[in-house]
Structure 1
Amino acid sequence: MRTKVAIIGAGPAGLLLGQLLYSYGIDNVILERHTGEYVLARIRAGLLEEGTVTLLDEVGAGQRAHHDGLIHQGIELAFGGERHRIDLHGPTGKTVMIYGQTELTLDLMNARRAAGLTTIYEADHVRPTDFETDHPRVSYLKDGVTHEIDCDFIAGCDGFHGVSRASVKPEAIKTFERVYPFGWLGILSDTPPVSPELIYSNHDRGFALCTMRSTKRSRYYVQCPLDDHIDQWPDGRFWDELKRRIDQKAADTLVTGPSIEKSIAPLRSFVAEPMRFGRMFLAGDAAHIVPPTGAKGLNLAASDAHYLAQAFREYYDERSSAGIDAYSAKALSRVWKAVRFSWWMTSMLHKFPDNGPFGARIQLAELDYVVNSKVAAASLAENYVGLPF
């Protein structure tokens, strides 16, 4: 098989990149080691920056998001038993949209299928090779038969544990990582959200987050030890703990119900540099991970796809390699700012085992400053709604 761009990974980064390339007339093939059903079953983020929504519109996959998504103009920070609203729209002119990553992935899958583009699911033993030459290749196993794709470029969009970054020589890549000493226990329930806007709560017992997927489906999180298991958290215990960590008004109005999904996710900050290796480029979680506190992971995947698609369009339309040469530096500039913001939000809101009373007081002072300073609140808002692409 021959194509211009071989994309490894059919998550949001790979699917969005594929649709952008298609809209620019650039042939591409996507390889995914799981089934499409497995990809759609993964419960992930649900907050989109305006830039991400604009990209969905650009590839003709934004209609359902505009119909079903919830537009938010602010968030609430809770500490000391009270909630304080941070206006997002006022200082930035921008909003965010609540729309599940699963739904976004389905929209991109449907757009790709409607365009008749090739996605090879259940592709085993995917291996990118010769990407340091002018003739990169990707091999894979399908139904017991080995296949090979000849291409001009490879896009590694296969996540943190994918083969793309793992195929790079160790001496050619540098990684930066911070692993946080706690996780997020999250549940999904068919209950109305406790608040029309997200509540981020700093509490002596640990962080909590109240968010939603729709006006009838809620997503809640509590900070928990990394060695906890979901069997230790029956629904009753979760709801009781959540009520302890949010303000009294929210606790009194919280509607509880059976969980329809429950999981524990570790938190880490991770960046790999560079994001280009010859004719292979990394995008999305293959290159960087952020804690979900800042709602940046999915949106960084979208901006990577945007930068990379623009670079490939410049290469094919203008016969210029300037875009692909600049891709890594341009993407990493935005990535590191999002990593900083996510780290800052995480540091300000969570209970850290080694911080002690002094660290707890510093957090409260930081929160008090943010909610009472127009400049500090505007800075939070600017980063939360997403820095320009």
Structure 2
Amino acid sequence: AASYFTVARHCFSAAAMRAAASAGSSGAAGAATDASGRPTRGAPAQSPWLFDRQTVENAPSRSWFLQRANGDEVQARKKEEEYRIGSCQFIQDSGRALRMPQLTIATALVFYHRFYAFKSYEHHERFVLSTTALFLASKVEETPRKLKDVVGEALKNWNKHVKDYRVPEPESREVHELKEKVLVTERILLQTIGFDLSIEHPYRPLLAYVKSITGTRDLAQIAWNFINDSYRTTACLQYSPRFVAAAALTLAADRLTRQGKAVQLPNLHKSFEVHEDGVHATMRLLRVIYDDKRKGGGGESGAANAAAAAKAEAPAAVKTEAPAAAAAPAATAPAAAPAAAHARTEQAAAPAEPRQAGRQPVEAGGAAAAVKTEAPAAAPAVANGAVGEKRPYAHLVS
């Protein structure tokens, strides 16, 4: 009984904390907003996990990054972006090495974003929190992995570019201490997210729509890759899964159309019950990622671009881990999103081709089918941060 009331108390306190943070923002509490700050349709009413851009921008870590950057907002945004990208890539790599399904990895990424929406990097180590999120997600999604295995792969992944690094023995003190930290951090993570373990992802509505229009395998695969990329951004904190799915489909259709494979998306907004402004805002959030990657920014110039472009949604450069399919060659596509004011951008560079890994989400017949997301054990090396960086995570630790 005592444990039950303790859990209940933490649930109510965490819910109150989220409500207070949402109420203090300029947008509607718990509702997603477009680039102009207006609430968009299609988000769950009063959702405690959807915030406006200003709330996301003013996360607890921002003041710490500003302090470290001597008040330079661009540098602070850049460093925060590096932290987020490096951590998300670490979660992705570790999850794939543990042969976790993509759904489990996506859940861990959502836990990570939700935690740092209310906690600061200053007081909570990213490496431990990322490892904890992966461990918790494996249990939530009923794909459990032993703690010793999760900790072992985490240590190996975090130090994989350290010369002559050897993973400690399972019974070593280092592994034991990390296991204890993960168990303690798991409680903090659960309290912070209010024990809300029900995570909705865009994958299911995406495949349901593709199946309903008898869409092609390429359409489903490329859209799937865009969804994977979205988890490197704060999209899951600003837009409902339906917005992300609709934006991914629009970007995928644009790419295929530029390749001479005309794709129609009948009744897209009606099917997903989303507003066009919100879909375009989500597309802008993703497009900055690929624009920066195509220019060779490697994730470090996106912050400056966002600050200069009317403070659009915080960007993040990514290398996608997605189910395998025939990769569409790099091309240019028309930008469907309007500019930060109101006008549409007629022609913009197409997103760089997302990386692909894992298994197909659709059947060979073309229509979307059952999702198979189990990833292979061997994850290819992915560069983070500056181009040519030999140790993807090391430059993010300081």
TM-score by length of 1: 0.32
Determine which structure has the larger strand proportion and give its number. Answer: 1
